[in-house]
Amino acid sequence: LMPSIKGDVNIEQVVFEYEPGRAALKGISLHAEAGQSIALVGHTGSGKSTIINLLCRFYDPTQGRVLVDGFDIRNVELESLRSQIGIVMQDTFIFSGTIRDNIRFGRLDATDEEVERAAKAVHAHDFIMSMENGYDTEVQERGNVLSMGQRQLLSFARALLADPRILILDEATASIDTETELKIQEALKTLLKGRTSFIIAHRLSTIRYCDKIIVLDHGRIVEEGSHEQL
């Protein structure tokens, strides 16, 4: 197993083709120091999700390599690598069960206190307590008991509890009311603290908060810098 990692991520001259002869990434080099948050922005099809796919090792690069703490992730046990990576997807995954079970997913050993602490830290506690059975409220996978914003906060609580060194966040594009939006922004700060993160960012407020912004276009990095620099 990979020992507890720092979370330094280095993508070295990566070329990737889903289909031979059609490169989705055309030579990407990108360094995230441990603890840094990186925003990936660019038009549809520019390669944002592909970078994430390679980092999680859903695919291996056609050329080049991806290093975590200096180790080529091809040489790291898959289970071990994935245990260090937390993913919060746009279409936030909620399964049928209680709110508590949904937060605890991925950290089944977590106590009720730990679940609550995580929910409080991301400002989800109040809305959970306002529900009929609090943490024991049953939610449905496709049910609409929860708003998009509430789903997002739940997924943040889940990620915070799992405490991965590397966090991947595909930010929701759905419109969210202003109050929830503010909660999400604050929760995001809490969630990002002390871990390396890659954020496919859609909101300017999120982009502004990232240490480095990577602008992709047709599989290449066309701009790179801080929010102030760009």
Nearer to Mg ion by Cβ, of 103 and 172: the residue is: 172
- Classify the phi-psi angles of 45: left when phi > 0, otherwise alpha if psi is within -120 to 50, otherwise beta: left
Question: Taking CB under 6 A as the rule, does residue 24 contact ligand ATP?
Answer: yes
Site string for ligand ATP, 1-20 (x = CB under 6 A): -----------------xx-
| C-alpha–C-alpha distance, residues 25 and 163, integer Å | 30
Of ligand ATP, Mg ion, none, which one sits near residue 47, judging by CB under 5 to 8 A according to partner kind?
A: ligand ATP
> How many residues interact with ligand ATP (rule CB under 6 A)?
11
Q: Indicate the residue among 49 and 63 with the shorter CB distance to Mg ion.
A: 49
Residue 185 lies near Mg ion (rule: CB under 5 A):
no
Number of helices (H), then strands (E), in the chain: 8, 12
| DSSP result, 141-185 | SS-SSS-HHHHHHHHHHHHHHH--SEEEEE---S---HHHHHHHH
Task: Assess 59 for contact with ligand ATP (CB under 6 A).
Answer: no
149's contact among ligand ATP, Mg ion, none, with CB below 5 to 8 A by partner kind, is none
Q: Which is nearer to ligand ATP, 18 or 95 (CB)?
A: 18
DSSP state of 80: H
The verdict on 49 binding Mg ion (CB under 5 A) reads: yes
Beta-strand ranges (E) seen in the chain are 9-19, 22-32, 37-42, 63-68, 71-72, 85-88, 97-98, 138-139, 166-170, 196-200, 212-217, 220-225
Token readout for 61 is: 């690069």
Of 120 and 202, the one with the shorter C-beta distance to ligand ATP is 202
Decide if residue 61 touches ligand ATP (CB under 6 A): no
Task: List contacts with Mg ion (CB under 5 A).
Answer: 48-49
Task: List contacts with ligand ATP (CB under 6 A).
Answer: 18-19, 24, 42, 44-50
